[in-house]
Amino acid sequence: LPAIRLLGLDVADATAETALNWICSRIRSGTPTRIAFLNAHCANVAAADAGYRRAIATASALLPDGSGVAIAARMQGQRLSANLNGTDLVPALCGRLAHEGRSVFLLGAAPGVAEAAAAALQARHPGLIIAGTAHGFFTPEQEDEVIRTVNNSGADVLLTALGVPAQDVFLERNVGRLRPCVAIGVGALFDFLAE
C-alpha cells in the first residue's frame, strides 16, 4: 500500500476501497500479512514502548485511525487519503470475506464477547464464515494452545482484540507460526460490535 512517513513510521495513504482490495489480493495470493492501526493513543504508547513500536513498524501495513493521525499529517503539510479506522474497515472487510467465501477467527475480549461480535458481523454480512472464536484472557502458558486453536480452525483472517500494545506484540511474536493469511489487531472492536 502507498504510505507517507509520519512520526517515524510508514502510515498507509489509501482509500478504504484500495485497502480492502489490497487485503483481499493478499489473501488470494496467500501472502502472509500483518495489519495494525495507528491512532493518537497508539502513537503515545509507541513512544514509550520499543517492543510495541517495532511490532507496528514491521507490520505489512499500518493504517491511520482517527483524527489525531490526520492532524499530525496536516501539521507536516500532508493529507491522508482516508481515515481507515477499524470500526468501519473491519466490518467492510468481513463483507468482502463473506462474498469471497473466506473465513475469520475472532480472538480477544472477555468471555462471550467474541461470539457476540461474530453474531453481529454475521447478521450484517450473511454468509460470513466464522472459523472460531476465543476470549483474550489467557496466560503466557496458554498461548501455544491459543495458537493451535486458531491454526486448527483453518481461518483465512485472524482478528485480534487484546488491546494496545498486547495484540500487536502478540501478532509479531507469533508471526512465524500463525497460519491465517491475514492477522489484524482490532483494539476494542469486539466490545463495540457486541453492544
Nearest to 160 by CA among 177, 178, 176, 142: 178
Question: What is the nearest approach in angstroms of ligand UDP to the Cβ of residue 138?
Answer: 8
> Smaller CB distance to ligand UDP: residue 157 or 170?
170
Give the other-Cβ count within 10 Å of 148's Cβ: 12
Question: What is the nearest approach in angstroms of ligand UDP to the Cβ of residue 107?
Answer: 8
> Smaller CB distance to ligand UDP: residue 82 or 170?
170
Question: What is the nearest approach in angstroms of ligand UDP to the Cβ of residue 143?
Answer: 12
Query: ∠ at Cα 16 (13, 17), nearest 5°?
Result: 115
Give the other-Cβ count within 10 Å of 58's Cβ: 13
**Would you mind telling me the total number of residues written for the chain in this entry?**
195
> Smaller CB distance to ligand UDP: residue 132 or 187?
187
> Smaller CB distance to ligand UDP: residue 65 or 156?
65
Question: What is the nearest approach in angstroms of ligand UDP to the Cβ of residue 183?
Answer: 15
- Burial profile 170-190: b = 16 or more Cβ within 10 angstroms, e = fewer: bbbebeeebbbbbbbbbbebb
Binding site for ligand UDP (CB under 6 A): 108-110, 136-137, 161-164, 166, 187-188, 190-191
